[in-house]
Amino acid sequence: MTYAFVLGRVYTLSLAELLEVLNVYGTSITILEASFEALIIQSDKSLDVEKLQKKLGGVIKILKIIDVVKKREQDSINFCLQNYFKPSKLKTDYLKNSSGKIQFGISVYLLDPTIRAFGEPKRLGMYIKRGLQDAGTSLRLVLPEYNSLSLASVSVTHNLLLQKGAEICIVAGNTKVYVGKTLTVQDFEDYGRRDYQRPIRDEQRGMMPPKVAQSMLNLVGCKATDTILDPFCGIGTFIQEGALQDYKMIGTDIDKQAIAGSEKNLEWFGNRYKIPKGKYHLDISDARSVSKFITHLKEIKAINKVNAVVTEGTLGPMYSKFPKVEEIDANFKFLAGLYKSCFEDFSNFLLKGSKIVMCLPAYKKGQNEYMMLPSLDFATSNGYNTVSVIPEKYAKNMAFLRVSPRGTVIYDRKDQIVAREIIIFEKQ
Ligand SMILES: C[S@@+](CC[C@H](N)C(=O)[O-])C[C@H]1O[C@@H](n2cnc3c(N)ncnc32)[C@H](O)[C@@H]1O
């Protein structure tokens, strides 16, 4: 079976979590192609794509690849597919489950950004539409926005393409074109609810988008029912997302208002998503001495051990314009001290091989240029080494990845001065 995964905007993070989740699920895969837009894999068994789609914060769509068509480098995509989309083929392989007026959409993804594809979705869509109309089928075509090659998940969902027809996807390389259809799309409405409908939101504190929290949770490679700690839990984004993934979650924060907010949010979240109360524990604690709370939870047999830490600690002050270098240095110094004490304390309960996934501030100096914490001594001196977000065996064939020299990935948003550097440590 061949599948393609359409990656989110921060594609390095999307790819990192996807590879880790496939690994945890024990799925043996061969990577056929990878680009900043899509990963194409072959798997010896069929995948539970609904489950994977829900699990992956950074994957926009999962496609089933139906055929691979050869292409000469100089050929346009529509030229190489001119004899492919026969009405009989479309009806058997793409649109076979639809009834009533068919609605179909078309998206193009690229394996090489230099391939010229402007206008291709429209040309291909019109060609398919005409062929089917001539064969007596009534249908409606949904096309990407003028300046885009692909349909947003909103469009696929609102136009009921998966229920009433199909989204036909073309993943084009220089010498091959993969043709398939969308099996699942990310449930953007549910992510919106998980973020904006929470009773407590706190922009000042800086909240993790639920999708990113999910991606970070996936990076630790835990199994369902493992226990994960967020010792800087704020209003509880990691706690809700982890509990939804069936992990046992522990959330602590030094600020009692934050914990009160987490409690309210988790109560709302628990009711909505049917999370049992024993799935999470919240308390006020300084992250530098969180082991006391862990010991207490072990004593009352609420947990056996902590398998991993996933957290977004304080990043320091937020800025609307680039701060002075001295301010950045002072913050780096403060954070190094804070995390040194935290890592020392984590060693009281984390076992060898346990992972910590966390965020550090990355000050955006220019396009793809960041000032990052200069030293990771706070971790290495406590016996924690970094692990690259993408394993070396994959990274060496993926030149498009944006992995920093120390194996981390930056999650940033347009116009953001302080971005998040996502880093993985492993206890030695
Ligand atoms: C960036 S916020 C975390 C936001 C959280 N990820 C969320 O989505 O709500 C950082 C949190 O760290 C907490 N904090 C700061 N210093 C701490 C310490 N020494 N121990 C525990 N929590 C601390 C703050 O109260 C704040 O809630």
Pair 173, 156: CB distance under 8 Å: no
DSSP bridge partners of 34? 39
- Give the model confidence (pLDDT) of 162-197 as tens digits: 999 999 999 999 999 999 999 999 999 999 999 999
DSSP state of 288: G
Please report where in the chains the tokens 């920093």 appear, as a residue.
Answer: 404
Rounded alpha-carbon distances, angstroms, from residue 83 to 64, 79, 115, 291, 300: 20, 8, 20, 65, 68
- 155 — phi, psi (to 5°)? -65, -40
**201 in contact with ligand 1, CB cutoff 6 A:** no
Q: What is the pLDDT of residues 43-64, one digit of tens each?
A: 989 999 999 999 999 999 999 9
Per-residue pLDDT of 210-221, as tens digits, reads 999 999 999 999
So what's the pLDDT on residue 347?
Answer: 98
Residue from 205, 252, 265, 418 to probe ligand 1 pocket by mutation (most atoms less than 8 Å from CB): 205
Ligand 1 binding pocket includes 358 (Cβ within 6 Å): no
* DSSP 3-state of 358: strand
16 — pLDDT class (breaks 50, 70, 90): very high
Is residue 350 pLDDT above 70, yes or no?
yes
- What pLDDT is stored for residue 217 in this prediction? 98
Nearest to 38 by CA among 221, 172, 184: 172
In percent, the amount of the chain with pLDDT more than 90 equals 92
Residues in the chain: 428
Write the pLDDT tens digit of every residue in 115-137.
999 999 999 999 999 999 999 98
CA atoms of 97 and 99, how far apart (whole Å):
7
- In this structure, what DSSP letter does residue 115 have? S
Pocket of ligand 1 contains residue 255 by CB under 6 Å: yes
Percent of the chain with pLDDT over 70: 99
131 Cα to the center of ligand 1, angstroms: 58
Cβ-based neighbours of 330, under 8 Å, separated by 6 or more = none
The answer to whether the beta carbons of residues 251 and 235 sit under 8 Å apart is: no
DSSP state letter for 101: S
Class of domain 203-427: alpha beta
52 vs 25: CA distance, rounded Å: 10
Q: pLDDT by residue (tens digit) across 305-335?
A: 999 999 999 999 989 899 999 999 999 999 9
**pLDDT tier for residue 368 given thresholds of 50, 70 and 90:** confident
- What backbone torsions phi and psi does residue 217 show, to the nearest 5 degrees? -60, -35
Residue 415 pLDDT > 90, yes or no? no
Sequence ranges of the domains in the chain = 2-186, 203-427
Which residue bears the tokens 């090489």?
112
Residue 282, ligand 1, Cβ within 6 A: no
pLDDT at 339 over 80: yes
Measured CA to CA, the distance from residue 292 to residue 228 in angstroms comes to: 16
Residue 205 in contact with ligand 1 by CB distance below 6 A: yes
More confident residue, 198 or 100: 198
Residue 361: strand, helix, or coil: strand
CATH of 2-186, one of 3.40.50.300, 3.30.2130.30, 3.20.20.220, 3.90.870.10: 3.30.2130.30
The residue ranges of DSSP E strands in 73-175, in sequence order, are 102-110, 139-142, 165-172
* 253 close to ligand 1 (CB < 6 Angstrom): yes
Q: Is it true that 2-186 and 203-427 share their CATH fold?
A: no
Instruction: Pick the closest to residue 355 from 18, 26, 24 (CA basis).
Output: 24
Q: Which residue has the tokens 């900043």?
A: 36
Q: Which two tokens stand for residue 349?
A: 């309960």
pLDDT of residue 96: 67
The chain-wide mean pLDDT, for the chain, equals 95
Question: Residue 337's pLDDT is what?
Answer: 98
The residues facing 69 across adjacent strands are 177
Lowest mean pLDDT among 91-100, 185-194, 379-388, 409-418: 91-100
Is the CB of residue 161 less than 8 Å from the CB of residue 99?
no
With the most atoms of ligand 1 within 8 angstroms of its CB, the residue from 253, 259, 378 to mutate is 253
Handedness of CA 144, 38, 110, 90 (dihedral sign): negative
Confidence of residue 420 (pLDDT cuts 50, 70, 90): very high
- With contact defined as beta carbons under 8 Å apart, do 128 and 168 qualify? yes
